[in-house]
Structure 1
């Protein structure tokens, strides 16, 4: 157990009375309370508390450390629930890096929601992989179109040449931005604003709501919509904790997750455009560019290269998961 995890355990004991309190479930996530993961968590809390005697304590980003810290705390049982992007769990579960193959996920929000709800890859193939890491995968959901924010305009891969671009600590995301022409620079989120401000890095990627709420527009000048991905996150429970719940309690958790999933999909309708409007109001000089299909083509041509890298580093089930995801996406297209 790391020093930060020991400190977190002490902090949680102060919050909860005792770390083993059966009636209090602790849930940490990577964003603020008013951001997408926070909204999901609050809906989950509301549903659990309305349908059981349990209470849910929420710990937004920074409360208990960085993403690596809260994952360790969830695995060790200090936390009962954690919401974390596969961008960080990719080191534990290499197959989860599939979500960083560019241009794999659909841009249509309705199709995307259907995919996450019905995907056999997500609902059948991923859970055993998470269980091997002491985690119960409860759901995955999309958080919004990923956009680049940079200090210089981007119209194609040549514009990313020698640009130090912050990425999550994920090997495939590093590969993806190398293929895009940039110099990928893994950094914990807490260091990104300062690194952009001081010129250590010149770009980063995130959904529009996160760019707006974290004020990334203050330290960059250009937003580019390349359509290359949608931010994915996963809600997990500590496996021992979950398996120790009664059948009735597991149903409470499952129902709360389902309600929160439906809520967060509705919540995100129009959120991207609303967030971009707020950014323009706050900084009128900010340019927001949506690349045309022709302009996106050089980026799209890198997808095969990144996909092949995923098959090399994505774990024993990389091929099976990639094939199933593609089949799932085809099924969504066929049903639309």
Structure 2
């Protein structure tokens, strides 16, 4: 056999081998479905697309991202994840709290600091976040991949708020979360659970007189247009969680499990950079677009009046969650003490 003939034969074999490998990869590749609760360009959307970027840059898998409303409300996408229709979901404990009561811990007012550097360190280092929460989520068929902060909570209302008395006779929209309802009841308001899709219209028609959200969400959702008085109460940060259907996750190869873990860690680091300065940017846009909007930052004396009402919410949390919740709360507070005492 001549050298040229050998080369042609080897080239042919190489082409066949490449085609076989490509076909095998195509068979092994999957399109994973991922839904979240926010709009294009919002924090959860940025996280989802960074996750997608890492997966697609480092494997043959693809990720299809669904934004708010494309597959329904928050309850809908959780149901779809638990049933295996979706592989991944990003959902706030504000909604997951009805499934996992302990997750409502983030709605105990004045438990979390509002200084961003401290918050980020807490999420990186907390034993409660990184060791206890995954076990709780696993009990409900969910593989917790990442918890991350989105921004400080800000209250919007039809009138400026400076004291608990200002909440009297005001219906404040809350997520379908019993402890968040307890928080606003403690603050003196009438908590009113509503799905997100109904909030703008309810504010516009005065069915409700206020709501809470991170400032970027208030800006992107246009809430300031119908609820123009913004109050920084310093009572907490909005937290969210990215998770997978546990049966799906457990069925992955070790290589793909590592890929998913790495992608969620990569997206976490990217989102921490993204939220740095995001609140100031969003507030600037609101001020530029809205002449009637006011911004109130409570002073220490005003904050103290709200803090006095926080213990009853903490007691309610323990009542709702029992010994498991109490153990989580103790660890949560221990973790916070470690990062705030540095």
Aligned partner of 2:97 in structure 1 is 90
Of 104, 110, 114, 1:107 maps to 114
Q: Deviations over 1:278-303 (max 9, x none)?
A: 00111022001101011111111111
Q: Which structure 2 residue ranges, 5 or more long, are not aligned?
A: 1-27
Secondary structure, in 3 states, of the residue corresponding to 1:91?
A: coil
Q: Which structure 1 residue ranges, 5 or more long, are not aligned?
A: 1-20
Aligned partner of 2:17 in structure 1 is none
Of 63, 75, 84, 2:82 maps to 75
Aligned partner of 2:333 in structure 1 is 326
CA distance in 1, matches of 2:36, 2:92: 9
Is residue 2:301 matched to residue 1:303? no
Question: Which region of structure 1 is more displaced relative to structure 2, 126-135 or 195-204?
Answer: 126-135
CA distance in 1, matches of 2:59, 2:311: 48
Secondary structure, in 3 states, of the residue corresponding to 2:110?
A: coil
Is residue 2:68 matched to residue 1:61? yes
Quote the offset at 1:128 in angstroms: 1.6
Is residue 2:69 matched to residue 1:34? no
Quote the offset at 1:332 in angstroms: 1.1
Secondary structure, in 3 states, of the residue corresponding to 1:314?
A: helix
Matches within 5 A, 1:212-291: 212-291=219-298
Aligned partner of 1:132 in structure 2 is 139
Aligned partner of 2:187 in structure 1 is 180
Of 207, 211, 215, 2:214 maps to 207
- Cα 1:184–1:292 change in 2 (3 A) is same
Is the Cα contact below 8 Å between 2:29 and 2:60 reproduced in 1?
no
CA distance in 2, matches of 1:75, 1:152: 41
Quote the offset at 1:314 in angstroms: 2.3
Secondary structure, in 3 states, of the residue corresponding to 1:233?
A: strand
TM-score, scaled relative to structure 2 = 0.91
Q: Which runs of 4+ in 1 moved over 4 A?
A: none
Is the Cα contact below 8 Å between 1:151 and 1:221 reproduced in 2?
yes
CA distance in 1, matches of 2:163, 2:273: 33
Matches within 5 A, 1:151-166: 151-166=158-173
Q: Deviations over 1:250-303 (max 9, x none)?
A: 111111111110110110111111101100111022001101011111111111
Aligned length: 316
CA distance in 2, matches of 1:291, 1:261: 31
Is the Cα contact below 8 Å between 1:64 and 1:70 reproduced in 2?
yes
TM-score, scaled relative to structure 1 = 0.92
Is the Cα contact below 8 Å between 2:171 and 2:192 reproduced in 1?
yes
Aligned partner of 1:3 in structure 2 is none
Is residue 2:176 matched to residue 1:169? yes
Quote the offset at 1:32 in angstroms: 1.0
- Cα 1:315–1:33 change in 2 (3 A) is farther
Question: Which region of structure 1 is more displaced relative to structure 2, 35-44 or 307-316?
Answer: 307-316
Secondary structure, in 3 states, of the residue corresponding to 2:212?
A: strand
Aligned partner of 2:11 in structure 1 is none
Quote the offset at 1:22 in angstroms: 5.9
Quote the offset at 1:131 in angstroms: 1.1
Quote the offset at 1:156 in angstroms: 0.4
Q: Deviations over 1:184-210 (max 9, x none)?
A: 000000000000011100000000000
CA distance in 2, matches of 1:112, 1:227: 13
Is the Cα contact below 8 Å between 1:95 and 1:315 reproduced in 2?
no
**Which entry has the higher C-alpha Rg, 1 or 2?**
2
